[in-house]
Amino acid sequence: MDRREFCKTSIAAGLVVGSPAFLAGCGRRAATDASIAAVSLDGLEIELENAAIQELSQALSGPLILSGHPDYDRARTIWNGMHDKRPDLIVRPASSADVSHAVDFARDNNLLLAVRGGGHSWPGKSVCDGGLMIDLSQMSRVTVDRDTQRAHAQGGALLNALDTTALEQGMVTTAGVVSHTGVGGYTLGGGFGRLNRKYGLTVDNVRGAEIVTADGEVRRISADREPDLFWAIRGGGGNFGVVTEFEYQLYPFDRNVLSGSIVWPIEDARDVLEYYAEAAAGFSDEMYVGPVMARNPDLGDVIVMDVVYNGDPSEGEKELAALRAVATPVVDGVIVQDYMVMQTINDAAFGHGIRSYAKNGMVKEWSQGLVDALIDAYDPRVFLANHVAGGAVKRVGETDTAFTHRNAEIMLVFASGWQEAEMDDEFIAATRAYYKAIEPFMGGYYDNIDFDGDEAAGNYGPAYARLASIKGRYDPGNLFRLNSNIEPAV
């Protein structure tokens, strides 16, 4: 640790880290008066010297939060209420230098490390028990350069800020479908969104990044600077470091777009899905439309098509005409409206604190068997959602980025949400059963969402060997392992 920082205050989180009160408040037993028990990278119990923790505290410009601090529970809480983990230490960096200090501390102490961007890790990998959590929430600035058509978003920024800041300048890039998701994990995993058929995945629009690697170095990377690492972060997840800033390509955009939802009763699901299976591959790049099956509290069981048309609304109306004619909708809300209506429409349904479980799979082509299975296995406890691909997504080479599922037409997501812990087993079992019925029609999965995805080598396919080699160069000790983990090549 840089001892020049010792002149800073020794109170980093409202607690004097060397005091007995600190040790008593850590939520884990004190190993001695001078150390506390923690969890290593391999899950073993280790001891953290109190002096080392105090040294970390003094090096940071942002707070070091410990159990007993008023912000501790808020800082450790992530979006999915299923996860109730208690890190020993939470660093809220105010700068990349703070991130570097935290990474150095975790590496030097062989300490389990979690990285929280927006806290939307569905499987809960952005928090840990007994280790160190880097919480990027204070690094959330988004800026836009209208002349270069680029956005710069810090690692703790949310998608809402990326969308709204760009839209204020008449521009946009591909962003996800729940606006309180963080840019970090979302981007590193690939980045599906309602504009990806036109502009590609979010990783296709990353032009540069600032990243802190396992050696504590702060690196500026791009296609020209450390290109292997730049390739790896575009789909390789959080395996390679803590990204403290992304640079995104933007596109001129009229925020008033033809968009909304068309809703039919579940009895029309077969007709709607059979039409979609036949027509989906022929939709224009401007048309984003995908099926949802769920129970609506007012309408009962329904099939829904969410629509965003990124082009002349009159052309979009023509393209939608055949879909609208398949059956009589109970609701047709597709109108010209602000893009942010659709970008925030799922925010409440996926609100913070809900207990939720999800699985997903990639569909290469629609078939009658898939349509039949989706209808036969439908369970109103499970929300069938999607991320539409095709278009520009499919025109990127399979290994041009680390995201290799370029041949998928759509990703199907099987998700459930509930409030009470005693309902966990029921809803998890229902979600797994629905997924299992559809699994024969899918291949590969999206790392950011799946709870049980542990076949990283198979899922990354032709990119895995290169990813493992890059992991071996930049993170040989596998410090960044709370992700769809890529084992470092020797």
Q: Give the per-residue SS3 of the chain.
A: CCHHHHHCCCECCCCECCCHHHHHCCCCCEEECCEEEEEECCCCEEEEEHHHHHHHHHHCCCCEEECCCCCHHHHHCCCCCCCCCCCCEEECCCCHHHHHHHHHHHHHCCECEEEECCCCCCCCCCCCCCCEEEEHHHCCCEEEECCCCEEEEECCCEHHHHHHHHHCCCEECCCCCCCCCEHHHHHHHCCCCCCHHHHCCHHHHEEEEEEECCCCCEEEECCCCCHHHHHHHCCCHHHCCEEEEEEEECEECCCEEEEEEEEEEHHHHHHHHHHHHHHHHHCCCCEEEEEEEEEECCCEEEEEEEEEECCCHHHHHHHHHHHHCCCCCCEECCEEEEHHHHHCCCCCCCCCCCEEEEEEEEECCCCHHHHHHHHHCCCCCCEEEEEECCHHHCCCCCCCCCCCCCCCCEEEEEEEEECCHHHHHHHHHHHHHHHHHHHHHCCCCCCCCCCCCCCHHHHHHHHHHHHHHHHHHHCCCCCCCCCCCCCCCC
| Same domain membership, residue 101 and residue 78 | yes
What pLDDT shows up at residue 475? 98
Torsion 435-439-445-451 (CA) sign: positive
> Is 482 part of any domain?
no
pLDDT bracket for residue 490 (50, 70, 90):
confident
| Same domain membership, residue 432 and residue 324 | yes
| Same domain membership, residue 415 and residue 308 | yes
CATH code for the domain in which residue 90 is found: 3.30.43.10
| Same domain membership, residue 167 and residue 122 | no
> Is 302 part of any domain?
yes
The helix/strand/coil state of 74 is helix
Out of 5-19, 390-404, 453-467, least confident range: 5-19
What pLDDT shows up at residue 14? 33
| Same domain membership, residue 110 and residue 85 | yes
What is the average per-residue pLDDT within 113-128? 97
- Are residues 153 and 186 in contact, defined by beta-carbon separation less than 8 angstroms? no
**Could you report the per-residue pLDDT of 406-448, keeping only the tens digit for each?**
999 999 999 999 999 999 999 999 999 999 999 999 999 998 8
Longest dimension (CA), the chain: 74
| Same domain membership, residue 298 and residue 381 | yes
**At which of 116, 138, 160 does a domain end?**
138
> Is 488 part of any domain?
no
CATH code for the domain in which residue 233 is found: 3.30.465.10
> Is 481 part of any domain?
no
**Could you report the per-residue pLDDT of 195-206, keeping only the tens digit for each?**
999 999 999 999
Element (H, E) at 301: strand 300-309
> Is 397 part of any domain?
yes
| Same domain membership, residue 95 and residue 30 | yes
Cβ neighbourhood burial of 314 (10 Å; 0-12, 13-18, 19+):
exposed
On the question of pLDDT at 402 being above 50, the answer is yes
| Same domain membership, residue 232 and residue 190 | yes
> Is 484 part of any domain?
no
pLDDT bracket for residue 33 (50, 70, 90):
low
> Is 451 part of any domain?
no
> Is 40 part of any domain?
yes
Q: What is the mean pLDDT of the chain?
A: 93
**Number of structural domains the chain divides into:** 3
pLDDT bracket for residue 30 (50, 70, 90):
very low
What is the average per-residue pLDDT within 317-335? 97
What is the average per-residue pLDDT within 245-253? 98
On the question of pLDDT at 194 being above 60, the answer is yes
**At which of 112, 138, 164 does a domain end?**
138
- Nearest alpha carbon to residue 182 among 117, 234, 125: 117
Dig out the tokens for 364 from the structure. Answer: 């290469």
| Same domain membership, residue 217 and residue 352 | no
What pLDDT shows up at residue 5? 37
What is the average per-residue pLDDT within 246-270? 98
| Same domain membership, residue 401 and residue 344 | yes
| Same domain membership, residue 226 and residue 301 | no
**At which of 118, 138, 158 does a domain end?**
138
**Could you report the per-residue pLDDT of 80-117, keeping only the tens digit for each?**
999 999 999 999 999 999 999 999 999 999 999 999 99
Distance between CA atoms of 30 and 120, rounded to whole angstroms? Answer: 32
What pLDDT shows up at residue 32? 53
The helix/strand/coil state of 188 is helix
Residue-range definition of the domain harbouring residue 91: 9-138
On the question of pLDDT at 270 being above 50, the answer is yes
On the question of pLDDT at 29 being above 50, the answer is no
Distance between CA atoms of 428 and 449, rounded to whole angstroms? Answer: 14
What pLDDT shows up at residue 451? 84
CATH code for the domain in which residue 400 is found: 3.40.462.20
What pLDDT shows up at residue 452? 85
List all residues 6 or more positions away from 157 whose beta carbon is below 8 Å from its beta carbon.
118, 139, 140, 141, 142, 182, 183
Helix 96-108 to helix 50-59 angle (10° resolution) is 160
Dig out the tokens for 385 from the structure. Answer: 């959602």
| Same domain membership, residue 404 and residue 357 | yes
pTM given for the model: 0.92
